[in-house]
Chain A
């Protein structure tokens, strides 16, 4: 199975400042056949189901604010919130869907400083 790790476990950022979350996979999730990274990011607010933010490492899901961006390739990925808003307080998960089981990272909790 592909093991996903995230860092940090949690972070507190001032409103309007940048938040950066890292995700690493134990093996590549890049497909050379179609040049795609099978990596997604989800946001989960308390008491709610997860919500897809980013797919294919850097494609923003419809309706997701453009302050959310994803980058990286192969085994190392980053989710960036360019200007943190109060409504962004949540736990963020990365997930690989290169192969089953489609493993998730342990999550990163984002709070307001």
Chain B
């Protein structure tokens, strides 16, 4: 069974940074694209970023370009999202997902709150 477990969320001030992690198990992690999706409180889903199996290709939604960096460590079966210059509108639950075009496995999410 595929398990994706996010961590690293929390309360941060505007302009601050956070690094989210996603620990993967039950799959050959290095064989899959992976990605992040977020959901603001009471709102819909927003695709954030994804990364190719070897990390050679990365794509981002415009609103996070230049501020967020997606990365992975295949030796540790882990996915990361470095979030810098955080803004109030980055407040959301962040989900890690396996990306096979459609997103066919999801973690439970980690909450990020940006507030002073």
| Chain A interface residues toward B at CB < 8 A | 1, 38, 40, 42, 44, 49-52, 55-56, 61, 93, 95, 97, 100-107
Contact = CB atoms under 8 A, between A and B. Distances in A.
Q: How large is the interface on B (under 10, 10 to 19, 20 to 34, 35 or more residues)?
A: 10 to 19
Given A102-B47, A104-B46, A107-B44, A97 B106 contact: no
Contacts of B68: none
A53 to B, nearest CB: 10
Given A100-B59, A101-B59, A50 B45 contact: yes
A100 B49 CA distance: 9
B108 A93 contact: no
Nearest to A55: B102
Interface of B: 37, 44-47, 50, 59-62, 95, 101-104, 106-109
A104 B61 CA distance: 12
B104 A97 contact: no
A55 B46 CA distance: 18
The list of the 4 closest CB pairs from A to B, nearest first, reads: A40-B102, A55-B102, A49-B106, A100-B59
Contacts of A97: 101-102
A104 B44 CA distance: 8
Nearest to A44: B45
